[in-house]
Amino acid sequence: MEVRMVAEREHVVIVGAGFAGLQAARDLAGKPLDVTVVDRHDYHLFQPLLYQVATGKLEPQTAAYALRRIIRKMPNVNFRMAEATGVDLEEQLVEVSDGPPLRYDHLILAVGATTNTLGIEGVREHCYPMKTLEDAERMRDHILACFEHVSAHPQARDIEASLTFVIVGGGPTGVELAGALADLIRDVLDEDFPELAMEDITVLLVEALPHVLSPFEEKNRDYARRSLEDRGIQVRLETALESVSEGHVHLPDDEVIRTETILWTAGVRAQPLADRLGLKQVGNGQILVDDDLSVPEHPNVWVAGDLAGATDPDGDPYPQLAPVAMQQGSHVVRQIAKRRRGEPTEPFQYTDKGIMATLGRGSGIAELPIGPSIRGRLAWFAWLGAHVGFLVGVRNRLLTVINWVYAHFFRQRAARMIIRGSEAPRATPAEDVESD
């Protein structure tokens, strides 16, 4: 009998198939290594479009793509749908909720971030977060259900609370959500609910800082605030939320706003897995990494994306953005190759792709790496183009464009439907952690 010795190939486990993990898997495809991608969902989620799901512009499936469909084209890559529950760093094992643990030679941790309640009382119980597809669907259903409720009970005392929508957080996510919500109300719900007076509806954006859109230049922040106000959105700056109780937002100076809808976009922190690894954490729970993105004292463990506590050459944390995550995913794969060849690794350096935000239909801001920033319709088109370009799958791209055209020209929303029912809020943040 012929016995053939087959050299066992090294095994890379990637935990998390978001922007960073999926990019790493793509870069490892076809390499002489075995790769297993672990994710608790069987789809890759395009988070930048979540606010469009939450406001009925896009169907949830358009912002997601089946992971097995992507991975089946990569012969050396396998997929395991499971929650990673821990890592045994000594034995080099990833523990998962479903199935035996996975042994690794190289581990890439890329589980991203989750909602952060910032320790504010009542946020967990009463606010609607927007970090997952389920969150966005729940938000959409609740917003639409508020209108149905007022239509069914026009004499009720709580009309003001039902038609007051408070968005907490004036970063890009909160600003984009506010603009899209104002559009939904003006373009669609105004006509769908002729019995309601639009003057009774309030969209309020609350931000603790003296400006919205922190990452942008000052002139663009002012432009954004004015654009939102022109759309009828009330913008409250330098207003730190004190607490939330059922039906109420509590602001400084004992000010209380009656509302049934508090949309929470104010904070993110590392996924709970980060707290279970016994590794040093920084910032909002991210794992401390060396400048090559490996974990100190664990040279075969790498962290990429929102989970990575990496800093730029000036010592500032990298922004939590999809391009940063993708570039870090690629960087880690290159460093694994260097380690295997016995070469020294290189520090991660981000190539800035610019930042963009929409402010509602036909309006946006884009600060590109070169040239002056652009605003208004041109920036909005740039945003559309960039996001369609990054979406996974031809079908998703086509559907997205069709839905945008439909919304823009016909003032309709393809997915303005209550599908899951109107559930109570359910934030899914982990406990807030102490970190340095």
**Which residue ranges make up the site for ligand FAD (CB under 6 A)?**
15-21, 38-41, 45, 47-48, 50-51, 83-84, 110-112, 130-131, 173, 271, 273, 305-307, 320-323, 325
Ranked by CB distance to ligand FAD, the top (closest) residue is: 18
Of 196 and 387, nearer to ligand FAD (C-beta) is: 387
3-state helix, strand, coil in the chain (%, to 5): 35, 25, 40
Of 173 and 294, nearer to ligand FAD (C-beta) is: 173
Token digits of residue 374: 């652009």
Of 159 and 216, nearer to ligand FAD (C-beta) is: 216
Token digits of residue 127: 């606010």
Of 18 and 360, nearer to ligand FAD (C-beta) is: 18
C-alpha span between 29 and 263 (Å, rounded): 39
Quote the least distance from Cβ 254 to ligand FAD, whole Å: 32
Of 51 and 216, nearer to ligand FAD (C-beta) is: 51
Pairing state between β 113-115 and 268-270: antiparallel
C-alpha span between 171 and 424 (Å, rounded): 25
C-alpha span between 284 and 301 (Å, rounded): 20
Catalytic residue among 59, 137, 176, 207: 176
CB atoms within 10 A of CB 53: 25
Beta partners for 311?
Answer: 317
Beta partners for 360?
Answer: 363
C-alpha span between 34 and 31 (Å, rounded): 8
Q: Are 287 and 277 in contact (CB under 8 A)?
A: yes
Token digits of residue 401: 């464009």
Pairing state between β 106-109 and 298-303: parallel
The helix or strand, by DSSP H or E, that contains position 180, with its residue range, turns out to be: helix 172-183
Quote the least distance from Cβ 316 to ligand FAD, whole Å: 16
Quote the least distance from Cβ 186 to ligand FAD, whole Å: 22
Of 241 and 332, nearer to ligand FAD (C-beta) is: 332
State the alpha helices, DSSP H only, in 312-424.
Answer: 322-341, 376-390, 394-410
Question: Which stretches of 83-199 are assigned E, i.e. beta strand?
Answer: 84-88, 93-96, 102-103, 106-109, 113-115, 128-129, 164-168
Of 63 and 120, nearer to ligand FAD (C-beta) is: 63
Residue 255, classified by CB atoms within 10 Å of its CB into exposed (0-12), middle (13-18) or buried (19+), is: exposed
Quote the least distance from Cβ 130 to ligand FAD, whole Å: 5
Quote the least distance from Cβ 392 to ligand FAD, whole Å: 12
Quote the least distance from Cβ 341 to ligand FAD, whole Å: 26
Quote the least distance from Cβ 123 to ligand FAD, whole Å: 16
What phi and psi, each to the nearest 5 degrees, are found at residue 47?
Answer: -60, -35
Catalytic residue status for 176? yes
Helix or strand or coil: residue 83? coil
Active site residues: 176
